[in-house]
Amino acid sequence: MTTVAPAAPAARAEPGVSSGVRNSYETELSKLLAQLPTRILVLICALGPLAFATVLKVQSGTPSDALFGFWVHSSGFAVSLVILGFAGSWGFPIIAGVLAGDLFSSEDRHGTWKTILTRSCTREDVFAGKLLAAGTCAVGLTVLLGASSLIAGLLLVGAHPLVNLSGILTSPGRMLALTVVSWLICLLPVLAYTSLAILVSVATRNGILGVLGPLLVALITQLLDLIGKGVIVHELLIGSAFDGWHGLFTSHPFFGQVAIGSLVSLAWIAACLTASWRIMRRRDFLTGVSSGGRAGGPRSRWWRSPPR
């Protein structure tokens, strides 16, 4: 008589890295979307361009100091491009700082690191989940602002041809494609500012400094533009990447500045996230310092390594 061996009990699946990252990402994303500053940013990105286009429509003045500002009453594409220029200078650094500047430091302020790390998520899962949540919100707000500005311009001004930087009238179809591409080009520098805010938040454990970090870099970029010096330094800053779309609006488009800006943004993203992870990986959440430093000591290595 043949006997059949009982089937071995199925091994219980251990939570993998992907499930831990997914759980952390969903939690952090819901936390970000539930915060009042994030909701205010959503309202500003959705309604701000409409208010700006409405003000332009009821008065005859133009933001002539802005690129394409002279044509805001002639073409709705100019409205979107003027908003893009302002957002590249100040709007995107503010968005990145508000979203990511307090992302990690808030856990230190509330003392919730030990609670988070005792769940099924590892330190790597929490770090990746926070990064993905901040990046998702940053990209989402950028797309929302771009779509809202384009819709506001087309509704209140119209999809009329626009004179490019070479002085040639360009068809609405081509201007629509160039405007959309210009907003998409800005996604990488937006993520670079977000990575910078994350680094400051992790290194200093101070939400205020995390919010102000991207604004400080943006201010340095504007000062270099005013004094007209430091070309190499200016190209290495994140803010210079927001000017790459200018080369698309000529009769013979050039993409050199777009390529340089994208490479600079990728370098900032890689450097900031690598430094953030190294600091977080070495930090002892029981005593509040990185491994190798004394708790509360003025010469703790966790404080000296980020500036170096």
Instruction: Going residue by residue through the chain, which has 308 residues, state the pLDDT in tens, using 9 for 90 and above.
Output: 444 444 434 334 444 446 878 888 998 999 999 999 999 999 999 999 999 999 988 887 788 788 898 999 999 999 999 999 999 989 999 999 999 999 998 888 888 787 777 666 788 888 999 999 999 999 999 999 999 999 999 999 999 999 998 889 999 999 999 999 999 999 999 999 999 999 999 999 888 999 999 999 888 888 877 776 567 777 888 988 898 899 899 988 888 889 999 999 999 999 999 999 999 888 876 554 444 444 444 444 444 444 44
The C-alpha atoms of residue 282 and residue 251 are separated, in whole angstroms, by: 53
Q: What is the pLDDT of residue 229?
A: 59
- Tell me if 251 sits within 8 A of 168, measured CB to CB: yes
Domain of residue 229 covers: 18-304
Helix (H) or strand (E) holding 278: helix 256-282
H or E element at residue 169 = strand 169-170
Please report whether residue 57 resides in a domain: yes
- CB neighbours of 1 closer than 8 A, spacing ≥ 6? none
Q: Taking phi first (over 0 means left), then psi (-120 to 50 degrees means alpha), and beta for anything else, what does residue 68 get? A: left
Contact 92, 190 (CB under 8 A): yes
pLDDT of residue 227: 74
Tally of CB atoms within 10 A around 166? 11
Residue 83 located in a structural domain: yes
Question: What tokens were used for 121?
Answer: 């998520």
Residue 3 falls inside a structural domain: no
d(C-alpha 258, C-alpha 185), whole Å: 8
Residue 215 lies in a domain: yes
What is the predicted pLDDT for the residue at 7? Answer: 42
Any domain includes 198: yes
Specify the pLDDT at position 274. 95
Strands 283-284 and 169-170: unpaired
* E-strand stretches of 73-142: none
Residue 152's closest CA among 72, 51, 63? 51
Alpha-carbon distance 64 to 123, whole Å? 50
Confirm whether 94 is domain-assigned: yes
Which pLDDT does position 120 carry in this prediction?
Answer: 65
Question: Is 124 among the domain residues?
Answer: yes
Q: State how far the Cα of 105 lies from the Cα of 35, in Å rounded to an integer.
A: 15
CB neighbour list of residue 272: distance below 8 Å, 6 or more residues apart: 192, 195, 196, 198, 199
Q: Pairing between strand 289-290 and 162-163? A: unpaired
Q: Is residue 178 part of a domain?
A: yes
HSE (side-chain half, CA atoms, 13 Å) at 90: 6
Number of domains into which the chain is organized? 1
